[in-house]
Amino acid sequence: MSQMPVLSDAARGFMPLTMAARARRQPIVPVLGRAPRVHLWHIGCQMNDADREGLAEQFADIGFVPEVPLEQADLAVLITCTVRANAEQKVFGKFRELIPWKREQPGRAIALTGCMAVEHGEAILDQLPELDYVFDVREPDGFMAKLQALHAIDLDGPMPLPASDRLCAYVPVMGGCNEMCTYCIVPFVRGREQSRPVHEVVKHVERLVARGVRDVTLLGQNVNSYRDPDSGGRLPELLAAVDSVTGLWRLRFLTSHPRNAVPALFEAMAGLPTVCEQLHLPVQAGHDSLLRRMRRLYTVEEYRAKIDAARATVRPRLAVSTDVIVGFCGETDAEFAASEAMLRDIRFDTVHLAAYSVRPGTAAARRADDVPPAEKKRRLNHLLAVQRDIAARINAGYVGTEVEVLVEGAAADGRCFGRTRENKVAWLPPRAAGAGSLVRGRVDAATAWQLHVTPAAAA
């Protein structure tokens, strides 16, 4: 395990522990006479979606039945997030809901993994007396081996993975983050950057495509610093390799850091047929001094130039999304006003807004969290309203133009829904097309969040 970057004493606690050190309690293990069943629950970013998929496969490999509803489960696994205090509160809330479920039937157990497991380590076993296991999702082998040994008598070899009708999937191509944004706990809980080789990613995508997946998002906290450990190839080369997988229709990638958003990346986006016209490029703030305090190593002007270059290269129309934090330490009215001005100037399709939340062990935790909660909320709501208006205007510009929709399913009233290449939610008339079809159509109406599309033949 590589050494994680450490900024403060509190962060020293975030070292991964071996499974053996975490097995403080031995849950009662009943003989079931059948394979144990597992309920998985997750919260947080797309990395946790991908980890959930990975864990489901690993449970199936050791002979457990993954992904059953809670009432049918013997083991509940919480895949957690700690990026903001409210994510942790949701996990504690979910945990409280599980206590009566566990007490209902002897032998039921609860495991906790994901980013909170690394943050709290085995100390969380003292905090949550009903918790049975804590393990590191990046190194689940010790946990799986332990379960396999405990339940040996009920296991009958690997289980087939349940059939999946998924069209879209996340594929992690690198873990960890080497940036040290002062507000962020992710480098502590996810460790340093480690990329998977291109050939391994391609095999993973081929496996998914063989199971019916058509839209793949390559994942990394800082995905555009990807570097193949064998060849040194960067993200554009990885995109080119995955683009050539037969049967894949759409390719996306998340999350890019502005520092590493280079012309070669935009050219790859423009030139590779499966790569969609969508770029998520978190800016975090619209004032240079705020960016410096956050340790985001670019200026607003440099960021703006990257967006201009991306828009000029990826034609005809690139959807751009971002993340913005409001109420960071010492954020003045003028700095906040600059963030608003930047949103109005750049005009993003989507903005993920968050109120600053102090995270233990980060550099910013040593500064005063001096924007009062009510003011953070006011700033958040203000930018939400500003952005709703911008998104509505951008989407209104789609009316009368043609889009391509990958149909994902139908609502109860029969209307079909899916997403465009720009990742916009699109609605089609009832029974317009089955899930898994690609439909071209004209946009007839739009709101801030959705497009209404008439298929080409009927248009």
Residues of the shown chain interacting with ligand SAM in the complex, contacts defined by CB under 6 A: 45, 83-84, 183-184, 186, 221-222, 255, 257, 282, 284, 323, 325, 354, 356-357, 359
Rank residues 190 and 293 by Cβ distance to ligand F3S and give the closer one.
190
DSSP class of 408? E
Pairing type for strands 109-114 and 438-446 reads unpaired
Figure out which of the listed residues 56, 73, 78, 81 binds ligand F3S, where binding follows CB under 6 A.
81
Pick from 327, 326, 328, 393: which is nearest to 353 by CA? 326
Figure out which of the listed residues 83, 125, 300, 346 binds ligand F3S, where binding follows CB under 6 A.
83
DSSP class of 284? B
SS3 94: helix
The binder of 354, among ligand F3S, ligand SF4, ligand SAM, none, by C-beta within 5 to 8 A per type, is ligand SAM
The binder of 115, among ligand F3S, ligand SAM, ligand SF4, none, by C-beta within 5 to 8 A per type, is ligand F3S
The binder of 189, among ligand SF4, ligand SAM, ligand F3S, none, by C-beta within 5 to 8 A per type, is ligand F3S
CB 225 within 8 A of CB 253: no
Angle of helix 333-346 relative to helix 300-313, nearest 10 degrees? 10
* DSSP labels, 296-343: --S-HHHHHHHHHHHHHHS-S--EEEEEEEES-TT--HHHHHHHHHHH
Give the chain's count of helices (H) and strands (E).
Answer: 15, 17
Rank residues 65 and 184 by Cβ distance to ligand SAM and give the closer one.
184
Q: Please identify, among the stretches 136-144, 182-190, 261-269, 407-415, the one whose residues bind ligand F3S according to the rule CB under 6 A.
A: 182-190
CB 355 within 8 A of CB 376: yes
Q: Which residues contact 91 (CB under 8 A, 6 or more apart)?
A: 43, 78, 80, 81, 112, 116
Figure out which of the listed residues 19, 35, 40, 48 binds ligand F3S, where binding follows CB under 6 A.
48
The binder of 81, among ligand F3S, ligand SAM, ligand SF4, none, by C-beta within 5 to 8 A per type, is ligand F3S
The pair of structure tokens assigned to 261 is 């958003």
Figure out which of the listed residues 22, 190, 214, 234 binds ligand F3S, where binding follows CB under 6 A.
190
CB of 330 to ligand F3S, least distance (A): 24
CB of 410 to ligand SF4, least distance (A): 36
CB of 180 to ligand SF4, least distance (A): 6
Q: If you search the block for the tokens 């960021």, which residue do you land on?
A: 303
CB of 357 to ligand F3S, least distance (A): 11
Residues that bind ligand SF4 (CB under 6 A): 177, 179-181, 184, 186-187, 221-222, 257
DSSP class of 223? G
For residue 206, report the phi and psi dihedrals to the nearest 5 degrees. -60, -40
DSSP class of 399? T
CB of 45 to ligand F3S, least distance (A): 3
Rank residues 81 and 134 by Cβ distance to ligand F3S and give the closer one.
81
The binder of 187, among ligand SF4, ligand SAM, ligand F3S, none, by C-beta within 5 to 8 A per type, is ligand SF4
CB of 84 to ligand SAM, least distance (A): 5
**Rounded to whole angstroms, what are the CA distances from 94 to 76, 193, 360?**
11, 30, 22
Figure out which of the listed residues 44, 191, 236, 286 binds ligand F3S, where binding follows CB under 6 A.
44
**Rounded to whole angstroms, what are the CA distances from 4 to 46, 120, 124, 364?**
22, 15, 21, 18
The pair of structure tokens assigned to 233 is 């190839």
The binder of 278, among ligand SAM, ligand F3S, ligand SF4, none, by C-beta within 5 to 8 A per type, is none
Rank residues 245 and 391 by Cβ distance to ligand SAM and give the closer one.
391
Write out the residues near ligand F3S by the rule CB under 6 A. Answer: 44-45, 47-48, 81-83, 114-115, 186, 189-190
